[in-house]
Amino acid sequence: MKAATHFLIAFGLSINLFADSFVSAAFTSLSSVIPSLTASNTTTAYIVELSSAASNSSSKRKRSLTPHQDLYNELRRKDVAFSSGTEWHSEQIFVGVELVLNSLADLDAVANADNVVAVRPVLTFQPPALVRTHSLTGSSDPALPPDTQSTHVMTGVDMVHAGGNFGQDIKIGVIDSGVDYLNPTLGGGFGPGFLVAGGYDFVGNAYTGANTPVPDADPLDTCFGHGTHVTGIIAAQPGNIYNITGVAYKSSIYAYRVFGCTGGVQDPITVNALLKAYDDGMDVITLSIGGASGWSESTTSIIASRIVEKGRVVTASIGNDGAQGAWYPSAPGTGKGVISVGSVENTQLPAINAVLSDGHAPVPYFSLRPFPVTTSLPIYATSKDITVANDACNALPSSTPNLAGYVVVIRRGGCAIVDKLKNAAAKGGKYFFIYNDGTALGVISTGTYIGALIRAEDGAYLVNAFKTNANLRVSFPQTLANTVPVDGGGLVSSFSGMGPTYELNLSPAVMAPGGNVISTMPRNMGTFGVSSGTSMAAPFAAGAAALILKAKGKDKATCKSVKGLLQSTAGMIPTSGVDGAPIASAAQQGAGLINVYQAIQAQSVITTTELLLNDTLFGSNYQLVIIRNPTKKTVTYNIDHAAGITLSTVNPSNGLPNMAPIPTVPQTAGVTIVGKQVTVWPKLIGMFIVKTTPPTGLDAKTFPIYSGYITICSSLGETFSIPYMGTSSRMRDMPVLDQSDVFFEAQIPIMLTGSGYPADAGTSFTLVGSDYPAILYRRAAGSPSILADLVSPNTTVPGAVQARSLSKRGTLWNWLKGIFGNRNNQPTPGTFANVRTVGPIQNVPYSPRHEMEDAERSGYDFVRVQNYLNTTSIANGQYKLLLRALKVTGNAAKQEDYESWLSPVFTVNAPTPSASVSANTTLV
């Protein structure tokens, strides 16, 4: 099960994980959720933001108190039991403290303290998993031939390097798992004068996210590897045996370690790293950390945004949830001004030729080193049918021979590649070819097994030869690898996360190479490796930002302009490599693939680099674009329009998000440009107007996302584009609660016993041990607030909805002041959003939607009716449980803005009843 708010490191998923371990939605036994019913309803750890000065109220408190002491004293006067953790004192960015409360009933007191600005729950980021990494063993491995470094060619980095710009004098902070700076390609040392000039280890090797960190001043990582690969993308030094260089390899790297060898990291550690990177004077900060969210309200998102506002560049990965469809970008990349980065596939892959004994053309297999086989081997196909999707996903039949002397040929798909190899290895297999199933080609993760991906057509040839009993043998020349062009290069990676946010902001902002990127690894993990993920794209963009700052200066104004420069000069990405293919949605690619050379060379300034068109209720049909001409020449600009595809993001039959590949429709927005040619005199500005109308004839229940690009060509030879995006539906109508039967053998939400079995109306519970009711539910969309209250057995709730402008977006502070602060958290009757309640059970803010794989893997949530939110007991009597999810644009004070579900009536019959609490409440 996944927690109500679940976060993933951006590296954690990849093409292969999605393609090879994806399981389509299927029924899950309700009994399988039993182990998940033991967790508590919600967290008691919060990050409390304070004003930068102590309270100036009329009380006699000393003015010399710090804001933190002021808060502690006020809470003690209110008899609030708490413990304090990390304190933050950065008046420019963030003043606050981590608080752990003994009772959630006291959260109201914290929220209403005099100098409290905001209260946000502590979130946990899960660890980066190197699921798609191919490591080498060091200098004894065959070296690649001289490499043109295709990722640099794709993005104009090679041309910037040709001009002598390597990011000199730019400081880049890498917040990740640390770095093996003793890798010679990363400078071979640590401290002033070395490539890795500074940093800090906030956690220590043993930190898991659930124990006490042991910080020190040395960010060396030899047990994880993620941060080392990220660092090499930015700053790998030339002259290594694989002929790779970083994007900004003469910059100074500062490594901030926030992960131990295993486990996750909590928000306070990431906050520490962000603030130290800021205080250390980093010009650019990059985080390949994040979690599917859809919202911009996490603590790290807000702090990253403030750092940007102060004149620093922050890049963050969009996440690897592309298979999950739209509305699923990761925080902190969703923060305002943060450059959220998606991934495109490398145009070149390392490949080595295997030679066939029948004279057929060599078979390239995608690997950095040859199989360690010096004799030829026959082949064995685990299936003679190349259409079998789950080839070798189960144990091989008893008739299978000993496979030790064969090259085993297996079709990709149906399950994880490592599972296939494990099954074949159980029959003695040692060497494996996995032939492709139409998924993007690349270097695959094979665990400890010796295997590599081959093309689908080569796999079909080998299987056919095996069927005809041909005496075909394969040999593996111990020769150098070559880089070869690959279909799909330059296109959006299938794993790259998709937006937009629920606020209809563009995320990702831009794209960078992240699929099949060669970079450094810790020395004990191969020294070099090929990896994939948006974790690779974010540092690439950070390096690109460093090149821009080197070229244009690193003053505050320039730093704040970097995002717009990268967006306006990016290249639009098509949906396929076929000539004339339509343009991919801006929800997938943002502004497109960065071109740092164009960004540096641009003289004209496009001041509007995103056109956010909102929804059909609150959208703006007219957008003004301003162009600034800072040159001494009169410049003419020709403006045009290129439509992108329109995505149908929700299945209208069940209200669930459509998974990738998302269905498309032919309709696009209507676009009229007022002023298609603009001439601007030197040092002046020009402008034009873009009028858009949403596409018509679409089913609003599919929540179509339409997008496209306004193109600008100048007489200076410059080309720019501006993405636009909107939805032709009303966001307030988006279903939040999954009310389908897609994932379980019953329609949800559903009331279960504490043992995980459906509970009928009238079921009696003692609230002893596992004898309690639990409500299982899933979210089809994110919600600003999920509430659960006990109500009287005769309660009914109307299902009307009320419109609210997207511009009136709530914050977690509004959640506390407007929702929690006005709730009666005591076990006595109260009123909230016009519904009489007996007492609150759960309150979860800013939840993402659940993933759309099978429920056991993708998550679900529970409301456990064991006690009230303030931990007091529930009195004996009859009740219903009211589950409510606030609509995306809903007003928290209005019941009609909630999507609601009422449980069947159940009875609490505890052996030691509490003081009576009236259950005879009625709907107001």
User: Tokens in use for 107?
Assistant: 């959260």
What is the amino acid identity at position 710? I
User: Tokens in use for 627?
Assistant: 């162009």
Contact of 146 with 28, CB cutoff 8 Å: no
Contact of 920 with 831, CB cutoff 8 Å: no
Q: Give CA–CA dist 70/114, Å, rounded.
A: 9
Which residues lie below 8 Å from residue 283, measured CB to CB, with a gap of 6+?
A: 170, 171, 172, 312, 313, 546, 549, 554, 559
Q: Give CA–CA dist 795/922, Å, rounded.
A: 6
Which residues lie below 8 Å from residue 570, measured CB to CB, with a gap of 6+?
A: 510, 511, 590, 591, 592, 593, 594, 595, 721
User: Tokens in use for 580?
Assistant: 């004339």
User: Tokens in use for 798?
Assistant: 């109307």
pLDDT of 44 reads 76
How distant is the alpha carbon of residue 487 from its chain centre? 26
Helix (H, G, I), strand (E, B) or coil at 636: strand
Q: Give CA–CA dist 746/33, Å, rounded.
A: 14
pLDDT of 291 reads 80
Which residues lie below 8 Å from residue 252, measured CB to CB, with a gap of 6+?
A: 169, 170, 171, 172, 195, 197, 198
What is the amino acid identity at position 558? T
Q: Give CA–CA dist 728/703, Å, rounded.
A: 7
Burial class (CB within 10 angstroms; exposed 0-12, middle 13-18, buried 19+) of 357: middle
Burial class (CB within 10 angstroms; exposed 0-12, middle 13-18, buried 19+) of 471: exposed
Q: Give CA–CA dist 599/592, Å, rounded.
A: 13
Where do the structural domains in the chain lie, given as residue ranges? 10-32+735-908, 45-121, 122-347+491-575+582-601, 351-485, 603-729
Q: Give CA–CA dist 851/12, Å, rounded.
A: 15
| DSSP, res 420 | H
Residue 718: count of CB within 10 angstroms of its CB: 18
Among 872, 867, 870, CA closest to 106? 870
Contact of 720 with 569, CB cutoff 8 Å: yes
Handedness of CA 898, 904, 909, 910 (dihedral sign): negative
Q: Give CA–CA dist 31/698, Å, rounded.
A: 40
Which numeric CATH code is attached to 351-485? 3.50.30.30
Contact of 369 with 142, CB cutoff 8 Å: yes
Q: Residue 689: which H helix or E strand, with range?
A: strand 685-693
Query: Secondary structure of 99-136 in the HEC alphabet?
Result: EEECCHHHHHHHHCCCCEEEEEECCEECCCCCCCEEEC
Q: Give CA–CA dist 225/7, Å, rounded.
A: 20
What is the amino acid identity at position 302? I
Q: pTM here? A: 0.87
Handedness of CA 695, 698, 699, 703 (dihedral sign): negative
> 23-60: b or e for each residue (b if 16 or more CB lie within 10 Å)?
eeeeebebeebbebbeeebbbbbbbbbbbeebbeeeee
Which residues lie below 8 Å from residue 875, measured CB to CB, with a gap of 6+?
A: 827, 908, 913, 914, 915, 916, 917, 919
The Cα angle at residue 206 between residues 330 and 847, in degrees rounded to 5: 25
| Topology, domain 45-121 | Alpha-Beta Plaits (3.30.70)
What is the amino acid identity at position 360? H
Contact of 575 with 584, CB cutoff 8 Å: yes
- First-to-last C-alpha distance (Å) of the chain: 37
Point out the residues of the chain with pLDDT beneath 70. 1-43, 53-64, 105, 126-148, 440, 480, 798-837, 839-840, 854-858, 869-871, 913-924
User: Tokens in use for 795?
Assistant: 């309660």
Contact of 132 with 444, CB cutoff 8 Å: yes
Cis peptide before 500 (omega within 30 of 0): yes
405-431, pLDDT tens digit by residue? 999 999 999 999 999 999 999 999 999
539-579, pLDDT tens digit by residue? 999 999 999 999 999 999 999 999 999 999 999 999 998 99
Mind telling me the catalytic residues?
176, 226, 535
For 310-404, where are the alpha helices, taking DSSP H only? none
| Topology, domain 122-347+491-575+582-601 | Rossmann fold (3.40.50)
How distant is the alpha carbon of residue 203 from its chain centre? 23
Contact of 516 with 14, CB cutoff 8 Å: no
Q: Residue 458: which H helix or E strand, with range?
A: helix 456-467
Q: Give CA–CA dist 498/506, Å, rounded.
A: 10
The Cα angle at residue 525 between residues 511 and 485, in degrees rounded to 5: 40
Q: Residue 812: which H helix or E strand, with range?
A: helix 812-814
Q: Give CA–CA dist 510/329, Å, rounded.
A: 13
Find out if CATH 1.10.3720.10 is the number for domain 603-729: no
Residue 92: count of CB within 10 angstroms of its CB: 13
Which residues lie below 8 Å from residue 587, measured CB to CB, with a gap of 6+?
A: 326, 498, 499, 500, 506, 647, 705, 707, 725
pLDDT of 53 reads 65
Contact of 912 with 766, CB cutoff 8 Å: no
Helix (H, G, I), strand (E, B) or coil at 333: coil
User: Tokens in use for 217?
Assistant: 């001043």
User: Tokens in use for 845?
Assistant: 């803010």
Q: Give CA–CA dist 252/277, Å, rounded.
A: 13
User: Tokens in use for 199?
Assistant: 């940093």
Contact of 511 with 437, CB cutoff 8 Å: no
Q: Residue 848: which H helix or E strand, with range?
A: none
Helix (H, G, I), strand (E, B) or coil at 819: helix
Q: Give CA–CA dist 329/326, Å, rounded.
A: 8
Handedness of CA 483, 486, 491, 494 (dihedral sign): negative
Q: Give CA–CA dist 223/823, Å, rounded.
A: 47
